[in-house]
Chains A and B, each alone.
Chain A
């Protein structure tokens, strides 16, 4: 059990590296912050794309156009058949006249053009909404494939086809974040390890005397480990502050841009502290022979 004086000493020594080598420590924190900023930016883009995909999923629906041979009287039977498909929540019938009226509304002032038509060219259709579980491009695709085999169906419009593209991008960004994360991990460990190495070299005499008077390895190592963790934490906090500021500036211009939750921010800082710990531990293993 450590005494109060010993705890005080360990805290003082943990901060001593910052005081003794202000420039080196400052540069280390800046390099760490830059690397971590890139990582947090990638993560933030991934988080935003993920949120966008989640929002898009809620709007996934299908428009199923029927062949003209299907009589309006068959509508109740068709509706039951649609609802029997796994993943379909509702099926709303849009008759030919209703479709024309809708088209007329969309055309606005140009609707007069429709008066020149002899007959209504628009087919009757069903608007299918999917159950929450089936609101993925994959599930929607399965429903679509099933409907495509029906002879009564002339065409199917997948209104959220862009979701697939979005999902692909989200996946790519997630992979890129992992790669960037790995690179940042190696770089951060290297940078912190180097700074702690300098500190170990500068503290050679104190370490030697500590060993001579019977300091435990824990007591000798703790200040260096704490220094690395502090550098990691400050680097992470600085990166978060920069990304947070950038988000605050950009969010009025980009609607729906989200930021990390407090829990995610805390997790990121803990990750950075962990990076610092690993960095200083590796320096310790290499350069501090006890």
Chain B
């Protein structure tokens, strides 16, 4: 099946970076996903929610092409999963960052080396590696702790190292699988804010969580899964304060045109108000 990579030529929205079309996923005769369809645009921030076993991680695995649909089509960055040449998967993964609940850091390496490891794999020069690692560690506020080992850091800091590692190769998509699951609410909020800042830079963020409080505070597109089915896909309405904050963020310097256009489509009233 997956002999050659094929660029999907179908009627896709040009801004679509991820597309699921009637996707079924069966693991050892158990349906993990059933008839799931959605599009995610470039630069979007999407929250995937639902109880444990609802299929959140399965969706992330399909996006990373760590699993392939039993039925239906998955398209990531124009690559059709069913026609994906396995040799090209590493190339695709270099455009995707991953963050997990359990951080998945290398305990025997320093913070700097953990982040630099991702650069080493893709093969950048030493000078470029130094520059990029410094950039992301500064962005997550851990440059001062670059020589520390992960176990000497707090949970929140370890998660920030994981985010720095995910971002160092400047991915187009960031997949965050329950990144706040092991963190207290305050630290969790810091991580979410960090993910929002990353999204501000134009990276599409897909965030999975089963925490309702976090979902309610989002004001972003929320997809709800239940027993492998997508039961809801909508934009949550927020308090006026939260909307104002989001609009404010949208017009901060550094925002990209694609994201602005998307936000304008999503929040026409708020954007109009902000402009006047």
The answer to whether B169 touches A213 (Cβ under 8 A) is: yes
CB–CB A214/B123 < 8 A: no
Instruction: Say whether A271 faces chain B, with CB atoms less than 8 Å apart.
Output: no
Q: Mark B100-124, 1 if CB is under 8 A from A, else 0.
A: 0000101000000000011011111
> Are A213's CB and B93's CB within 8 A?
yes
A213 touches B165 (CB 8 A): yes
Closest partner residue, chain A, to B168 (CB atom): A213
B93 near A209: Cβ-Cβ < 8 Å: no
User: Which single residue of chain B is at the shortest CB-CB distance from A210?
Assistant: B121
- Asked if B123 contacts A6 (CB within 8 A), the reply is yes
Secondary structure at the A interface, as helix, strand, loop or mixed, is helix
A219 to B92 CA separation, bound complex (whole angstroms): 16
What count of chain A residues pass the 8 Å CB interface test? Answer: 18
Q: Say how far A7's CB is from chain B's closest CB, in angstroms.
A: 10
Residue from the list A205, A213, A219 in contact with B118, Cβ < 8 A:
A213
Interface size class of B (residues with CB under 8 A): 20 to 34
Q: Does B20 contact A (CB under 8 A)?
A: no
Closest CB-CB distance, A207 to chain B, in whole Å? 11
B91 touches A2 (CB 8 A): no
Q: Which one of A6, A9, A209, A214 has the greatest number of beta carbons of chain B within 10 Å?
A: A214
CA distance A86 to B66 in the complex (A): 75
Shortest distance from the beta carbon of B243 to any chain A beta carbon, whole Å: 35
Distance (Å) between the CB of A3 and the closest chain B CB? 5
Name the contact of A213 in the complex, choosing from B87, B121, B125, B126 (C-beta under 8 A).
Answer: B121
**Chain B: minimal CB distance from A12 (Å):** 11
Q: How far is the CA of A205 from the CA of B150 in the complex (A)?
A: 14
Interface centre among A209, A213, A219 (most CB of B within 10 A): A213
Instruction: Evaluate contact between B104 and A205: CB separation under 8 angstroms.
Output: yes
Given known pairs A205-B106, A206-B106, A209-B106, the reply for A215 and B121 (CB within 8 Å) is: yes
Given contacts A2-B123, A6-B120, contact A214 B104 (CB under 8 A): no
Is A216 among interface residues, defined by CB-CB distance under 8 A? yes
Asked whether any CB of chain A lies closer than 8 Å to the CB of B90, the reply is yes
Query: B122 touching A213 by the CB < 8 A rule?
Result: yes
Task: Tell me the minimal C-beta distance from A120 to chain B in angstroms.
Answer: 90
A216–B93 Cα distance when bound, in Å, is: 10
Q: Give Cα A52–Cα B185 distance, bound, in whole angstroms.
A: 85
A84 beta carbon closer than 8 Å to chain B: no
Given contacts A212-B98, A213-B165, A215-B90, contact A5 B126 (CB under 8 A): yes
Shortest distance in angstroms between B63's beta carbon and chain A's nearest beta carbon?
12
Contact with A along B60-101 (1 / 0, CB 8 A): 000010100000000000000000000100111110001000
Q: Is the CB of B121 within 8 A of A219?
A: yes
CA distance in complex: A206, B87 (Å):
20
Q: CB-nearest residue of chain A relative to B118? A: A213
In the complex, what residues of A have CB within 8 A of residue B169's CB?
213-214
- Which residues of chain B are within 8 angstroms of A9 by Cβ–Cβ distance? 120
A211 CA / B126 CA spacing, docked (Å): 21
* Cross-chain contact A3 with B125 (CB below 8 angstroms): yes
**Residue contact B126 to A214, C-beta cutoff 8 Å:** no
Give the docked Cα–Cα distance between A209 and B118 (Å). 8
Say yes or no: B120 contacts A209, CB within 8 Å: no
Give A168 to B62 CA distance when docked, in angstroms. Answer: 65
> Does A208 lie at the interface of the complex (its beta carbon under 8 Å from any beta carbon of B)?
yes
User: A214 contacts B93, CB within 8 Å?
Assistant: yes
Residues of B near A211 (CB, < 8 A) are: 66, 90, 93
Specify which chain A residues have a CB less than 8 angstroms from the CB of B121 in the assembled complex: 210, 213-215, 219
* A213–B123 CA distance with the chains assembled, in angstroms: 11
A36–B94 Cα distance when bound, in Å, is 44
Is the CB–CB distance between A214 and B106 below 8 Å? Answer: no
Please, which residues of chain B bring their CB within 8 A of the CB of A205? 104, 106
Q: A205-B106, A206-B106 are in contact. Are A214 and B122 (CB under 8 A)?
A: yes
Residues in B with CB closer than 8 Å to A214 are: 90-94, 121-122, 169
7 shortest interchain CB distances as A-B pairs: A214-B94, A214-B93, A213-B118, A214-B90, A215-B121, A212-B98, A3-B123
**Can you offer 15 A-B residue contacts whose CB atoms are under 8 A?**
A3-B124, A3-B125, A5-B123, A5-B126, A6-B120, A9-B120, A205-B104, A212-B93, A212-B98, A212-B104, A213-B165, A214-B90, A214-B91, A214-B93, A217-B90
B interface, CB within 8 angstroms of A: 64, 66, 87, 90-94, 98, 104, 106, 117-118, 120-126, 129, 165, 169
8 additional contacts (CB under 8 A) given A5-B126, A211-B93, A214-B169? A5-B120, A9-B120, A211-B66, A214-B90, A214-B92, A214-B93, A214-B122, A219-B121
- Contact surface of A with B, Cβ cutoff 8 Å: 2-3, 5-6, 9, 205-206, 208-217, 219
